[in-house]
């Protein structure tokens, strides 16, 4: 095994396989996932598949040659495996050479750290929660005039459930009593499950237990999450976490979750109005719901020819991989070549191009085409945006890139994206903010979502607060409520209605 070499970068691959895995976040649970089988005609009709093993702390990649194919007993190939970013460029790649017999695999050990892909650099590796893997292959000692490509997709099933489950008339419930709540799936092709609250006896004591009814589901799946008991003020008095692999032999989530006598002894605070309140936060990972080949094509048929019919050299890599136009645009951004206007924020000036800014932002287009003072200005002062934020905004406009940054810098870029109507950038910033909501910034992000009319971001904040109701008793919330009384009251009402609706269902 060795690092990717410049030779593999320059050669046109004989075959390119691109595999997109939707809901890629579910791969963090140690999933072993295989791609659809693909046939490489240019390599004597050999059949192959990739396999991804997400095992802490690393991601392992394997390339398999299938046992049954029409190829020779052995075949030597160069291959390159890479994880692609949103722009189709490799974020990491490793190349190797190997002679494959039938039904033989070759592993790429420690392909990338699990934490980097799914957490630290999640926005890069999982744009829109899709992990994209590319495999490029060359048969040793041969050239092919018609390189092939194959595109495959696998959809992972993931459901998230968060609700407060109200168990009424608790003190009168008999031993063996069961109460159910359906967990409706939002993933196409995934089954609905049923959560079961029951009272069971163990060692002469009666316990609250939580089971799950699989129904007709025969496939195994993972469940992780936490169930908590809330007191009369909504504070957590007992909670247990779960991370369990459920198959046909296992249907329980929590055995002996809590002793009923302890609940009855503290009835005044633990059972207000004789109601037991359970806050349930569960994630269900069903594995692969669908996997298949979406498209196969001879890339040779897509290579252009000039007017004399001579082949025009064109790489079969991603279009952006070695595009001269993209490289020139980057130079325009970095060097300010041929700039026709300057933007100034704080004490820093940026040399930019009206045509590029206008093509990306309706606001800039209006500034440079309508009868506004900016139309004839050689230097425009940009207000309400600091120099760092303006630099990141321009990087996106020119290169479609979003850098890693802290949540507060992301919030600044979110505001700028909304101001200049860069809707896709606003969505990307919103996604980053959702993953970085915490007790210290929840009020700031709530205010941001409200001010810029981002209902999805606001819903993420409400979900976070619903899981952490003690935030309402925090000093940060009290200050926020004093300064934003209307928004604070609306937020508390929406969460109260949500809990009330959950109670009515039960």
pLDDT tens across 393-452, in order? 999 998 888 887 889 999 999 999 999 999 999 999 998 899 888 888 999 999 999 999
Query: Could you tell me which residue, 253 or 35, shows the higher pLDDT?
Result: 35
**Token code pair at residue 161:** 């459930």
Is-cis flag, bond preceding 57, omega within 30? Answer: yes
Distance in angstroms (rounded) separating the CA atoms of residues 374 and 5? 49
Given CA atoms 99, 105, 108, 111 in this order, what sign does their dihedral have?
positive
The CATH code that applies to domain 158-288 is 2.60.210.10
Let me know if 429 is exposed, middle or buried by CB neighbors in 10 A (0-12, 13-18, 19+): buried
pLDDT digits (tens, 9 = 90+) for 91-130: 988 888 989 988 776 766 667 788 888 888 888 898 888 9
Domain 158-288 and domain 323-425 have a common topology: no
Q: How many CB atoms lie within 10 A of CB 248?
A: 10
Distance between CA atoms of residues 21 and 19, nearest Å: 7
Query: Which fold is adopted by the domain 15-146?
Result: 2.60.210
- Which of the residue ranges 2-11, 75-84, 171-180 would you say has the lowest mean pLDDT? 2-11
Check residue 136 and give its pLDDT.
93
Say how far apart CA 196 and CA 278 lie, in whole Å: 12
Give residue 303's pLDDT band: very low, low, confident or very high (50, 70, 90): very low
Overall CATH class of domain 437-501 = mainly alpha
Give the pLDDT of residue 370. Answer: 78
**Share above pLDDT 90 across residues of the chain, in percent, rounded to a whole number:** 30
CA dist., res. 263 & res. 500, Å (int): 22
Assigned CATH for 323-425: 3.30.710.10
CA terminus-to-terminus distance, the chain = 58
Q: What residue spans define the domains of the chain?
A: 15-146, 158-288, 323-425, 437-501
Question: Strand 148-167 to strand 15-22: parallel, antiparallel, or no bridges (unpaired)?
Answer: parallel
pLDDT of 188-212, one tens digit each? 677 788 899 999 998 899 999 988 8
How much is the pLDDT for 305? Answer: 29
CA 162 to chain centre: 19
pLDDT of residue 313: 33
Preceding amide of 252 cis, omega within 30: no
Mean pLDDT value across residues 20-36: 82
How many residues make up the chain in this entry? 506
């Amino acid at each position: 095994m060795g690092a990717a070499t410049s030779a593999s970068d320059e050669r046109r691959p004989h075959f390119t396989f691109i595999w997109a895995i939707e809901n890629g976040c579910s791969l963090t649970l140690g999933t072993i996932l295989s791609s659809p089988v693909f046939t490489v005609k240019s390599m004597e009709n050999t059949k192959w598949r990739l396999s991804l093993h997400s095992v802490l702390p690393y991601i392992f990649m394997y390339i398999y040659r299938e046992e049954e194919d029409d190829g020779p007993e052995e075949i030597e190939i160069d291959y390159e495996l890479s994880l692609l970013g949103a722009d189709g460029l490799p974020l990491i790649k490793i190349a190797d050479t190997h002679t494959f017999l039938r039904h033989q695999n070759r592993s790429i050990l420690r392909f990338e750290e699990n934490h980097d892909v799914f957490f630290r650099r999640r926005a890069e590796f999982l744009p829109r929660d899709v992990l994209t893997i590319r495999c490029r292959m060359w048969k040793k000692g041969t050239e092919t005039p018609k390189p092939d490509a194959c595109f495959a997709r696998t959809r992972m099933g993931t459901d998230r459930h968060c609700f407060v489950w109200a168990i009424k008339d608790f003190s009168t419930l008999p031993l063996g009593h069961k109460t159910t709540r359906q967990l409706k799936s939002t993933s196409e092709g995934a089954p609905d499950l049923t959560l079961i609250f029951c009272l069971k006896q163990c060692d002469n004591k009666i316990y609250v237990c939580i089971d799950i009814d699989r129904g007709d589901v025969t496939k195994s799946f993972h469940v992780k999450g936490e169930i908590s008991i809330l007191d009369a003020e909504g504070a957590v008095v007992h909670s247990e976490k779960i991370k369990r692999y459920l198959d046909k032999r296992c249907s329980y989530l929590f055995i002996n979750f809590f002793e009923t006598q302890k609940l009855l002894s503290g009835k005044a605070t633990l059972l207000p109005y004789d109601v037991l309140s359970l806050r349930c936060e569960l994630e269900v990972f069903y594995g692969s719901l669908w996997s298949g080949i979406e498209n196969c094509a001879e890339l040779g048929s897509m290579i252009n020819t000039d007017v004399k019919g001579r082949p025009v050299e064109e790489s079969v890599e991603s279009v952006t991989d070695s595009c001269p136009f993209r490289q020139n645009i980057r130079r325009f951004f970095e060097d300010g070549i041929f700039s026709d206007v300057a933007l100034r924020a704080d004490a820093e000036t940026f040399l930019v191009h009206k045509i590029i800014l206008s093509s990306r932002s309706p606001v800039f287009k209006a500034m440079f085409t309508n009868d506004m003072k900016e139309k004839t200005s050689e230097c425009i002062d940009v207000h309400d945006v600091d120099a760092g934020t303006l630099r990141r905004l321009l990087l996106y406009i020119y290169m479609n890139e979003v850098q890693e940054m802290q949540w507060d810098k992301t919030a600044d870029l979110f505001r700028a994206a909304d101001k200049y109507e860069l809707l896709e950038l606003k969505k990307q910033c919103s996604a980053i903010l959702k993953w970085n909501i915490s007790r210290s910034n929840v009020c700031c992000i709530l205010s941001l979502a409200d001010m810029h009319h981002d209902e999805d971001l606001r819903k993420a904040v409400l979900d976070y607060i619903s899981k952490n109701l003690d935030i309402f008793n925090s000093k940060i919330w009290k200050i926020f409520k004093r300064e934003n009384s209307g928004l604070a009251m609306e937020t508390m009402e929406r969460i109260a209605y949500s809990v009330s609706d959950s109670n009515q269902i039960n």
